[in-house]
A and B are shown apart, each in its own frame.
Chain A
Amino acid sequence: MKSDHHVILRVIGKCFIPLIVIYGFYVHFHGEVGAGGAFQAGVVLAVAIILHSLTFGLANTMRAVPPAFARTLAAIGVLIFVGMGFLTVVQGGLFLEYQALFAEPPGGHDGQHAGIIIVELGVLFAVAGAMTTIFYALAGRVAEIRDEDW
């Protein structure tokens, strides 16, 4: 790689990708007190991956974040969300009743707090995984018929 004519793009990209990831997590964890939330955070995380593939090429990105990993991440996200609902039922509450998560004295809201954070984490995984999978599906698609054959 002596004459890399993408060098500026790649260096700037390398600088930005960690910042984007940090910003994504900021949006996620700040979501409970300000604007933001897991969905937006998931999209921001996926944007970091998309930027990587734009600057370094799809093949490199697929090596760093394999499509199977993205798919599994999305599935695990859904699993966390619905599993949380089942956990509250097991703890004796109604479906997704976070208050029932821990045996708390009246007035305590630790269950609500923990429950929403975990569910949001599920949403984060699901959105980031699904967005990446959609991007891979669109970007990795090869034309089945050559243009001359039309």
Chain B
Amino acid sequence: MTLETVLTTAPAWAIAHAPVMLVAVPMLIAPLVAILPNGRLAWLITVATAAVAFYLAIVTLGLVQSSPTGILSYEIGRWPPPIGIEFRTDALNAMILLLVTGIGFLASVFSWPTISSELGNHNKLGMFFAAFLLCLAGLLGVASTGDAFNLFVFLEISSLATYVMVAMGAKRDRRALPAAFNYLIMGTLGASFYIMGIGFLYAATGTLNMADIADRLPALTDSRAVQVGFAFIIVGLGLKAAMWPLHQWLPNAYSYSPSFVTVFLSATATKVALYALIRFLFTIFQPDYTFELASFHWILAPLGIAAMLICSFQAVFQTDVRRTLAYSSVAQVGYMLLGISLATAPGVAAGLLHLFNHALMKGAMFMAIAGIVLTSQGTTIRDFAGLGRTAPWTMTAFAIAGLSLIGVPLTAGFMSKLQLGYALFAEGWWWAVLLVVFSSFLAVFYVGRILQAAFFQPPVNPRKTHKEAPLLILVPLWILALANIYFGIAADFPLGLAQDGAVAALGLEAFR
């Protein structure tokens, strides 16, 4: 396996400090980039930083897989865990870290053409890239810390940076400002619900370390404080993860932020919140507590199903391509929640696999849209008419990712829906399988509308010649598009990651 060669060639500092360097490197570079006067230089440094983070995530994955316990524990400041802050990485974290850094790297490579055209003023771009690096560091911190309060701090770092980046879309569309403000209010509500929940847990258990909380909770399951804390945490993280009906911030934030921000957020931000949700549902709380079982059956499963049906319907009736995809994102979160709500290892693995694949397909689709915005400035479906002829490379990649979103065989989306179907059948939820298939048919409609306009309609204005997106966009776009096909045929790698992650989350022996 190539992971071993990565481990043998990795420098000693990377082996010893990979889990914390992953977060610290972007955080160190962010203030440097912020005071740089030159936007292009800031971009180059950002790309290099994202590449280092990606490399460290691969090293971390290798370390986790070769570790006998499957857990890497890093004591910040050499203060031992229950008191000090611990970075605790297992197979679940490693998968999320790999996903976030991988998408972060591709997105940062592709960012230059769209950012420089959508934001203008090259001298202020340093601040923008600093916000991006802080957001990356925050997301990676959420995905690697083993301390419940520390998770809140990193969640806020990433969220604050996100609000700034969303508001930057105001130069292209003024509606970005209310969208960012809305997101700020909703996101802050989510974070404060989360911290209230942590407060209740701290009152009941007297510790903030996740593993320590998990050890002390079984004796306290009848405690009302623990149950209230659980409810607060689910609502708070559900808001961040855009769990239906707490998703109202998402469509506007995705539609009006700069294209690059949409690419990065759609593929990472809600995913990391979902990771935190999985961590709390399965590692800290145990799925056999009665109040948690009830919440799986009466809250998570119905909300997941409602998301995939209602938001798919809403997606069909949108006229703006980015809004269509934003509603579709909420629907996809529904699939993931449905998998998670099974509370079985195959169910969680299916949810995680869909999380991984959804990042690939939405990343590719929003990148393609970014290319279209760059060359033709329009994002309504009418603007897409005839683009299949004038920008074939961009739109073909878009189409591949779109087919993957529908779940056509031989694409990544098919694999994750297949796994979800298996997991649902194993529990006897055949009616839910029918609903998944029905929701996929709705996806055929909303993706089909865009593809029909792009490939089968004549251009609105035939004299206005659209150009292909620049190479800096096409290369990352096609990497993601081809990954959608590759992981649809040879799904061993993401499926293995997802299954290991589910096993690590549930604390089971390997079931592969």
Contacts and interface: CB of A to CB of B under 8 A. Distances in A.
A106 B201 CA distance: 38
B275 to A, nearest CB: 22
Contacts of A94: 17, 20, 74-78
Given A71-B34, A75-B34, A83-B28, A89 B13 contact: yes
A75 B77 CA distance: 23
Q: Which of B21, B31, B75, B76 has the most CB of A within 10 A?
A: B31
Contacts of B27: 78, 82
Contacts of B220: none
A98 interface: yes
A95 B76 contact: yes
Nearest to A74: B31
A83 B28 CA distance: 7
Interface string B12-28: 01000100110010011
Contact of A95 (B30, B31, B34, B74): B74
A55 interface: no
Contact of B77 (A71, A82, A83, A95): A95
Interface string A65-78: 00000011011111
Contact count band on B: 10 to 19
B44 interface: no
A31 interface: no
A78 B21 CA distance: 16
Contacts of A53: none
Main secondary structure, interface of B, reads helix
Nearest to A82: B28
A132 interface: no
B20 A79 contact: no
Contact of B17 (A75, A89, A99): A89
B78 A75 contact: no
Interface string A90-107: 000111111100000000
B36 to A, nearest CB: 10
B35 interface: yes
B78 A79 contact: no
Interface string A103-127: 0000000000000000000000000
Nearest to B34: A75
A85 interface: yes
A79 B36 CA distance: 13
B185 interface: no
Contacts, number: 52
Contact of A93 (B31, B78, B130): B78
A135 interface: no
Interface residues of A, number: 20
A97 B30 contact: no
B77 A98 contact: yes
A128 B130 CA distance: 19
A75 B35 contact: yes
Contacts of B21: 89, 95
Contacts of B490: none
Interface in A40-79: 71-72, 74-79
Most chain B Cβ neighbours within 10 Å, of A76, A93, A94: A94
A29 interface: no
A94 B72 CA distance: 14
B32 interface: yes
A86 interface: yes
A75 B31 contact: yes
B30 A78 contact: yes
Contacts of B76: 94-96
A23 to B, nearest CB: 27
A122 to B, nearest CB: 10
A74 B130 CA distance: 12
Contacts of A74: 31
B34 A97 contact: no
A78 to B, nearest CB: 4
B32 A99 contact: no
Nearest to A68: B35
Nearest to B37: A68
A44 to B, nearest CB: 23
A95 B35 contact: no
A99 B24 contact: no
9 contacts: A71-B34, A75-B34, A75-B35, A78-B27, A78-B30, A82-B31, A86-B24, A95-B24, A98-B77
Given A85-B24, A94-B20, 10 more contacts: A71-B34, A71-B35, A72-B35, A74-B31, A78-B30, A86-B28, A89-B13, A94-B75, A95-B20, A95-B74
Q: Which 8 A-B pairs rank lowest in CB-CB distance, beginning with the nearest?
A: A75-B31, A78-B31, A82-B28, A96-B77, A95-B20, A97-B78, A79-B31, A75-B34
